[in-house]
Amino acid sequence: MAQPATYGVPLSIGEGRCGVVVGGYKWVHPNGRDAAAANDSLSFFNYTSLNLSRNTLRDAYIPRLRVGNTSFSYSGNTIRDRFTIWRASVSFNPRDGKIYYLFTDYDNAISPTLKTYIWRWNPDTTFSTGTYNNPPLASLVDTLMSFNFDIGGITFDNNGLAWQLEFTGSAPNFTSYLRRLDFVNRTIDLPNQIDIINGPGGRGKLYNVNSGDITLLPNGQMYYLFNNKLYTPDYGSYQNIAGNHINSTCLDTITGGGTIVGLAFGDGNLIGAYSPGCVYKKVDPIPNPSIGVSPITYTYALNKGVASNDLAQISSGVGAAKKLVSITPTGTAKQYDVVYDVLVKNYGTVPINNLQVTDNLANINGLANLSNVSTTLMTIPPPPGIALNTAFNGSSDINLLQSSGQRLANYPVDSASFVIRINCTISNVDEGVVYYNRAIATANGFKNVALRDSSTNGDVPDLNQNDKPDDIGESIPTPFLIALKPIPGACGTLTATLYSENFGVGAIGGTGLLATLPTTPNKPTSTYTGTVTQPLTNNQFAITTNAQNGNTTNWRSLTDRTTANGRFMVFNADNPPRILFRDTLPTSCPGRQYSFSFWATFPFNPLYQSTCDALGGFTYPKLKVQFRDVVTGLTAVGDSTPTISSNGWTQIGYRWTMPQGYSNLVLEILNDAPGGCGNDIAIDDIVYGSCDALPVVNTSSLTGCLGDSIRFVGSLSDSTVLPGPKDHQWQIAPALAGPWVDIPGATLPYLVINPIAPADTGKFYRLIVAAHGSIAIPICRSTSPGVKLNGQTPSAAPTSAGKNKNNICPGIVVKIYRTGGILGNGASWKWYTGSPGGTLVGTGDTLAVTPAVTTTYYIRAEGLCNTTAAQAVTVFISCDIDKDDDGIPDYIESNIAAAVANGYNTSYPGYKDINNDFINDDFQADGDSDNDGIANYLDPTFSGRIDLSGPLGVPDGIDDRFDFDLDGKINMLDLDSDNDGIADVAEAYGVDADGDGKIDNFSDTDGDGLSQNVDANNTGANNSSVGLGLINFDNDPNPNFLDLDSDNDGIPDVVEVGGPDANNNGKIDGFVDANGDGLHDGYFNATALLKTGADTTSDGRADSYPNKNFDTDLRPNVYDRDSDADGIADVKESGLPDADLNGIIDGAFGANGWAIIVSSMPSLVLRNTDTDINLDYLDIDSDNDGITDNIEDKPQAVTFYQH
């Protein structure tokens, strides 16, 4: 038989006669009940999976014990030869390696008070077999200590602390307690009450506590068994505090063979000793009531059997694990630096000696490919007694430790294991080949028993946590593989699903389980054994519609994740890396990315979790996924899944680029988790397929303008699908559904069509992409969606741009328009200012604009194909409603009666505004009412035209109504419209302090030509009102600026302002007008005949008249009928007739506003009585007699009409 990794030696106190008396009693204690018979002894067992027999390494013996005292006699039998199998217990302490025997004197036979006596000795102690009547002192072992306390069965943990159970109450509700004892410090700690929690064995009520036992595994898991119920307590929660509670889980009820009185551990299993008789059973330390305990009954021959009253054990064990830490390329082809960690651990309760660890690294890839070997002890500080072999080279010297004296203790726990790191270089490594290697640990345990363990892959030697590291599946060599490691996560989109398995659908009769895999359309296999019986045992599988069908106790109710009555596969896995699922896949394409996914779950229920938590926690499932070549068996792709901890469905997926040389693969899903409590799994919905690179065709537009070019560019939405060199092929089709044909020569990532012809439009284009060399294989392709090329017509530029109005005033609406040109597809006419493409102001064939300043507008066509050249049109702002700047708007100076009230009235009959100044053209001399291009004042067809005279006394072609003084300059352009020497602005009472004939303080912020100080509208020409207006002092038909005698006193205005008029025509003599402004050049600015005062109120009107104002009142002489303010009217003082004494000359007046009686005189001689420089109307003492005229002239009934 091969050397085991562990060797358990159960030991027992009991009768070696199996109910048959052999020989007489040796002695009887005074209590009359306890007796030491010839067959009562301490026995050692050899425990194997097939037999239980007396151990040949250590014979049974009867311990010789005493309680103090130095003399013995038969009558002193209360203190000597105290060994008995009754009221006693035995245990082994891993801290000091000694057997502890406890006896409780319930009858006070030794001491007046109740005491528990404790002895200890080495297991190899040889006791005397001499006389029992009066044995010598030296032949008996004295007590170690005693306690005035009832100490029942105990077990020791790895730190040498003892634990015992105590009970109170009565059946069926005994209350149990756990107490800790320290025999080193001789202390007994406080008991902690045990709370039984629900486990797989139920609540575990105790009806009998008279028989049972407690034990601890080397790994620290504690078990106790009373009333044949097996429990495991959470003794890690123990505290030496009154009232503290700990939990304990009832695992199972052990049946068969009577009552269990002893519990021990050996070689991975619990051993239960039954009473009565010599019955022993092996008990799984991780029981499952749904499976039932797996007992093996051992029946002894009468000469070998032992009827045990209590059990303990001595365990020897060594375990090894080897983990691949890293693989690093050296830079040399096919050469790698490889690092391993080898863990070695003492799995027993005694030290192990002659320890050696071997590792033949040459087995990895041959001696010739091994180099650069070194080792390091990673455990700091190293355990005492462990030293590395510095000569280790992994080939000729494979010993990792020195050749002698290597001893690994079991206590303290921190010194019970160590890790050796191995560094080496491996050459000529082929991809896909798995290179295995293992380490081997050997040692000697209790009684020099030989131990041996081959390492298992990873860093845990004992995968199923039963302290036996050489179970099946726990000697897996460590693999070293250069294979592609896939990327976690499946592809979101598949070009093609090449393989899928959902295990079918439909109810399953009977137990709800199938033992066979589907055979169509796939033919998967498994190295697990199919079953139709629940619960599934280790390494079994079934097909089901509900996981609970596979284990009604431990697994939850879980159905297919997608389909009612859908089926899936469930497993009870254990240590071995068996294949859960295996199948051959369809042909794949090297260089292309593939995706694999499946759904998995660990279908545990709360009861199962509670059980496993009590046993140290779940062993969660973990799987290995690998893809191997069908022919060579080489692994192309492989990885281990994350731990599967959810009991709901979870998707696990990978994606990778298929390596070159691999096209026909086998899929394998393997167990990659240890055994123990857990590692059950369900899988479903296996999918394998090619990832879609999602090619797309990118272009700036899906339209092409005839005659232009277009560029289609292909790209991959997911470039990882095809990471290497790629082949391309463009195709064309008349419809999206095809048929698609290759475009000859179009094998680049882009396609250029230049120029675009009508035949190219209305067609669909797409791109096919594949890994280099595989574009001819349909399953290796990724194809973009088709895109349609729509043909478009470009636009033609406009030939010109026009307007319906020109030279407008601000605010006038102008219609601008284009002529010529054609709009192409998706095009529109767009108008801009500033420049073509500048500021967009509108769209369309025409546009209504209201510019405030002269503005140029540009129009062009803009569409999908092109932007044309632009045409421009300028709308000029040329607005002047007071062209001579005298403050009197032109339409007022045209002197048409209706104009004052209706100049801006658009509702006035016949209203027209052809010259774009808001004023009715019929009221303007320079208007063109009939739009014939001839201004009204020159148009012979203008209504009411008069042309009787002109500057030369004959008709001059100018309507006389608009040229009052017949000087050839119409009034609106004439600063002195009546040629009386007085500027029109002054005659309208406007301010002209500088005598230039124009209104002072001129400003025009709204651009209409009328000074703002007389402008009723500050925002444009519309409704600017009458300006200074038609001022008419004498209220005759003629306003002042068209009246030669503005105050009707008979004295012409020219004379009253001191101007020359020798010919008495009321107009200034010697008229000269070189600048053409209508004002006598000799009477301008400083020489002006009437300059006003300033405008202090900013209303455009004079607020004083410091000149030609003899009496210095508010009126100059020309508008003053008593210019010298002597109370005598100017007409009378001038010697002119005024019979009615109204200050106005008597008689008729001419059309020029002057009395005919005066204007008909060949010359005008006004009266100057004293012949001084002042005419009488300007002389307050006309006769120079010293008496003012107002005194000399008696009061008259005179009525003055002053305005």
Mean pLDDT of all residues in 849-857: 94
Helix (H, G, I), strand (E, B) or coil at 630: coil
CB 805 within 8 A of CB 812: yes
In whole angstroms, give the CA distance from residue 933 to residue 926. 11
- What is the pLDDT confidence band of residue 290, given thresholds at 50, 70 and 90? very low
**What contacts 273, CB < 8 A, 6 or more positions away?**
12, 14, 213, 260, 261, 262, 263, 264, 279, 280, 308, 310, 311
Q: How many CA atoms lie within 13 A of 1031 on its CB side?
A: 19
- Dihedral angle sign, alpha carbons of residues 535, 541, 544, 547: positive
Query: By the 8 A CB rule, do 524 and 258 touch?
Result: no
Residue 305's pLDDT is 60
To the nearest 10°, report the CA torsion of 68, 73, 74, 79: -10
Strands 529-530 and 540-544, bridge-based pairing: parallel
* In the predicted structure, residue 497 carries a pLDDT above the cut 80: yes
How many C-beta atoms lie closer than 10 Å to residue 898's C-beta? 13
Q: State the Cα–Cα distance between residues 248 and 252, nearest whole angstrom.
A: 12
pLDDT of 291 strictly over 50: no
CA dihedral 405, 410, 411, 412 (to 10 degrees): 90
Matching CATH number, 316-481, of 2.40.50, 1.10.10, 2.60.40, 1.10.3470: 2.60.40
Q: Are strands 703-705 and 787-792 parallel, antiparallel or unpaired?
A: parallel
- Using left for φ > 0, alpha for ψ between -120 and 50, and beta otherwise, residue 625 falls in beta
Are the C-beta atoms of residues 769 and 721 closer than 8 Å to each other? Answer: no
Query: Tens digit of pLDDT for each residue in 676-708?
Result: 788 999 999 999 999 888 788 876 667 788 888
The radius of gyration computed from the CA coordinates of the chain, to the nearest angstrom, equals 64
What do you get for the CA distance between the two ends of the chain, in Å?
151
Please name which of 434, 435, 325, 336 lies closest in space to residue 375, comparing C-alpha atoms. Answer: 325
Q: What is the pLDDT of residue 565?
A: 93
**CATH annotation of 695-787:** 2.60.40.10
pLDDT at 48 over 90: no
Q: Locate tokens 């080939």: which residue?
A: 395
Domain 487-691 identical in fold to domain 800-875: no
8 Å CB contact between 732 and 764: yes
3-class DSSP state of 613: helix
Percent pLDDT > 90 in the chain is: 63
Residue 23 pLDDT > 70, yes or no? Answer: no
CA 1145 – CA 1138 distance, rounded (Å): 5
**Using CA atoms, how far apart are residues 1118 and 988, in angstroms rounded to an integer?**
12
**Strand pairing category for 781-783 and 800-803:** unpaired
How many whole angstroms separate alpha carbon 662 and alpha carbon 484? 12
Domain chopping of the chain, boundaries: 17-148, 156-268+279-295, 316-481, 487-691, 695-787, 800-875
One-letter amino acid at 889 equals P
Residues 6 or more apart from 933 whose CB is under 8 A from it?
none
Predicted local confidence at residue 19, as pLDDT: 47
Q: How far is CA 824 from CA 404, 489, 861, 863, 956, in A?
A: 99, 51, 8, 7, 58
| Tokens, residue 629 | 């070549």
- Is the predicted pLDDT of residue 480 greater than 90, yes or no? no
Q: Give the least confident one: 203-212, 293-302, 423-432.
A: 293-302
Structure confidence at residue 700 (pLDDT): 60
Cβ-contact 14, 309 below 8 angstroms: yes
pLDDT beyond 90 at 644: yes
Q: Cα dist. 644→573, 622, 651, 756, 777 in Å?
A: 13, 6, 10, 59, 38
Backbone φ and ψ for 1178, nearest 5 degrees, come out as: -120, 20
Helix, strand, coil proportions of the chain in percent (round to 5)?
Answer: 10, 35, 60
For 800-875, CATH gives 2.60.40.10
- CA-CA distance, 81 to 737, in Å (whole number)? 103
Question: Which regions of 31-132 does DSSP assign to beta strands (E)?
Answer: 35-37, 40-47, 52-54, 88-93, 98-105, 115-121
CATH topology of domain 487-691: Jelly Rolls (2.60.120)
pLDDT tens digits, residue range 1068-1108? 999 999 999 999 999 999 999 999 999 999 999 999 999 99
CA angle 655, 660, 665 (to 5 degrees): 65
Q: Are 425 and 472 in contact (CB under 8 A)?
A: no
pLDDT (0 to 100) of residue 485: 87
Name the average pLDDT for the chain. 88
- CA 901 from centre of chain: 74
